[in-house]
Amino acid sequence: MIFNINNKMAFSNYYKKFNLLSLVLIFLSIIFLFFKGLNFGVDFKGGTLIEIRPTDLNINIGEIRQSFLKMNLGDVTVKKFGQQNDYLVKIEMKKEKKSDFIKSINEKLSSDLGSNVDFRRVENVGPKVSNELLNDGILAISLSLAAMLFYIWIRFEWQFSIGAIIAIVHDVIITLGFFSLLSYEINLSIVAAVLTIVGYSMNDTVVIFDRIRENLKKYSKISTSDICDTSINETLSRTLITSITTLLALLSIYIFGGPILMGFSFAMIIGVIIGTYSSIFVATPILNYTKVTQETILKEENKN
């Protein structure tokens, strides 16, 4: 049978190695975020995004670029998008845009290329709105971290809270690090993905924590690291199965869900893998380091 793990694995032997790996990944992510930054899309930076499909299949990307260059719109990037001859055009923010801005681009492009150009999607975000969206996004992520902290604070002892929060922050930073490294675009759906990752990673951690607490109450003579190992092992097949089914669903979105959902599903895939890893190798070791014992739990329970 798959994932019927009978042999007890001593995860605690690898804590140090994996913690080092995590630190390196976080360090690299911060370096990337700091020096390379994130590739914000029009949602957060403002500007215009147009998904175009010329009727004439023989038109190449060079001709499209040439045509935009002639329009003198400032910084314009054109790239292939999805299948067939679809292209994504991104125009950096210009100060004022007239209401017939899109119409005039369409007319010029169609006449330049000598073919009708279908504008499949237009997103035009002004600087005020993009700032608001960015603030809302940051607020949403901070709020969800705070909500998780609050939730775990009422459910568990402080050592558990620290473990869970460090694990989540670890996941968010490394996921964003990947986006910086690969220059993937950050748009509204990525914020949704990050929030879902926070929820998912938390859920994974809480299941293991629940078991650790249960086992701590049951056994008084076993060391914390052994309790952690036992608990991880007991919940391991659940951890893996849930990650696998979630990843199967996400892979299906990534491959078949069309180009618009690609960034979202990619972020989620990275997040689920890191989230699963962090509940075992980041959140749990912290319980070990903060020396959680049976007493910690009993003391806390007597207080209530």
Partner 1 sequence: MLYFSKLKLFIIYFLIIFLSFFSLNNFFDINKNFIFSKKINLGLDLQGGSYLLLEVDSSPILNRDLQQKLLNIRKELIKNKIKYQSLILDNETIVLKIDINNIKKFEESFLDKDNFLNPYYEQYRSYQLEHAIDGNTIKINYSKFGLIEINSSALTQSLEIVRRRIDEVGTKDPTIIRRGSNRILIELPGLENPNRVKDLLGKTANLTFRLVSENEDDFGFEKLNYENSDDKLSVSKRVIVSGDNLTNAKPAFDNITNKAVVNFNFDRIGAKKFARVTTDNVGKRLAIVLDEEIISAPSINEPILGGSGQISGNFTFQSATDLALLLRSGALPAPLNIIEERTVGPDLGEDSIKAGTISLIIGFLLVILFMFFKYKFLGLIANMALIINLVLLLGILTLLEATLTLPGIAGIILTVGMAVDANVLIFERIKEEMKTESSQIHSFDAGYQKAKTAVFDANITTLISAIILFFLGSGPVKGFAVTLGIGILTTLFSAYFFARHLSSLYVMKNKNRVISI
Chain residues 128-147 in contact with partner 1, contact rule CB under 8 A? 128-129, 133, 136-137, 139-140, 143-144, 147
**Amino acid identity for residue 160 in this structure:** F
- Binding test (CB under 8 A) with partner 1, winner from 28, 30, 93, 199: 199
Using the structure block, give the residue that is written with the tokens 């993009």. 130
Residue 59 in contact with partner 1, rule: CB under 8 A: no
Binding residues for partner 1 restricted to 201-240, rule: CB under 8 A: 202-204, 206-207, 210-211, 234-235, 237-238
Q: Which two tokens stand for residue 255?
A: 């491959």
Quick one: which of 14, 18, 26, 123 contacts partner 1 (CB under 8 A)? 123
**Is residue 265 close enough to count as binding partner 1 by CB under 8 A?**
yes
Q: What sign for the dihedral angle of Cα 285, 291, 297, 302?
A: negative
How far is Cα 210 from Cα 287, in angstroms, rounded to an integer? 12
Based on the shown chain and the rule CB under 8 A, indicate whether residue 119 belongs to the binding site for partner 1. yes
Phi first, then psi, for residue 125 (nearest 5°) are -120, 120
Stretch that binds partner 1, among 9-17, 69-77, 116-124, 170-178 (CB under 8 A): 116-124
Count CA within 13 A, CB hemisphere, residue 139. 6
* DSSP code, position 99: T
267 part of the interface to partner 1, by CB under 8 A: no
The beta-strand segments (E) located in the chain are 39-40, 47-54, 76-80, 87-91, 117-125, 185-186
Please report whether residue 295 would count as binding partner 1 according to CB under 8 A.
no
Which listed residue (41, 45, 47, 51) binds partner 1 by CB under 8 A? 51
Q: Which residue's CB is nearer to partner 1, number 50 or number 292?
A: 50
